[in-house]
Chain A
Amino acid sequence: GALVYQYPRRTICKSGTSMRMECQAVGFQATSVAWYRQSPQKTFELIALSTVNSAIKYEQNFTQEKFPISHPNLSFSSMTVLNAYLEDRGLYLCGAQDLSGNTLYFGEGSRLIVV
């Protein structure tokens, strides 16, 4: 079956440091990957959409300088939260779309705790 693995599941980092998270698609080819953030007690916000061989599109309030994304092939994507502060806390979800474009698979998320 199709699965999406995210690593790490949980990270505690000091304010001002950076955290890299990974997203691995298993059993299908992820032509596009969307990264979302769920801040505490809030809903999911789209950070950016990454499509292989295309430019990464960031939503308003999110920038490449803060959330650089790599999507080198059809099974892997990574995102880094640079200079993390309290407002960056939350659950970061990776959603991967398969070749048919009909199905979106989510990982279980990478939780970022900033102290």
Chain B
Amino acid sequence: AQSVTQPDARVTVSEGASLQLRCKYSYFGTPYLFWYVQYPRQGLQLLLKYYPGDPVVQGVNGFEAEFSKSNSSFHLRKASVHWSDWAVYFCAVSRMSNYNVLYFGSGTKLTVEP
């Protein structure tokens, strides 16, 4: 069965520092992977998505993620964090090619310190 694990419930970084949020997936076959962000009291916004191809995917607001089949991972990175990045980040895997059917991780709450 497909599933996603985000091992870090909370991450705190200083503004301007680099960021990595971890995501491990379990999926039989070729996964389609996503990172979403949820700002306070809002819904979900797509940061980036991975379809089979280039393992490094560029997203919005300077975010990128790297797919690793050997590690079953899809970690999210950002070179320099801004205070506006304070939010909860969700990694998700879709079932086959139906991108509407997403299985989400538990989320990582990012706190940005001044």
Contacts and interface: CB of A to CB of B under 8 A. Distances in A.
Interface stretch (B10-18, B62-70, B94-102): B94-102
A106 to B, nearest CB: 5
B100 A34 contact: yes
B11 to A, nearest CB: 16
B44 A93 contact: yes
Given A43-B90, A43-B105, A106 B99 contact: no
Interface residues of B, number: 19
A78 B42 CA distance: 20
Contact of B104 (A33, A44, A91): A44
**Main SS of chain A's interface residues?**
strand
B104 A43 contact: yes
B99 A101 contact: yes
A97 B43 contact: no
Given A43-B90, A106-B43, A34 B104 contact: no
Contact of A109 (B43, B90, B98): B43
A106 B44 contact: yes
B103 interface: yes
A46 B44 contact: no
Interface of B: 36, 42-46, 90, 92, 97-107
Given A34-B102, A97-B98, 8 more contacts: A43-B90, A46-B103, A93-B43, A96-B100, A97-B100, A101-B97, A107-B43, A108-B42
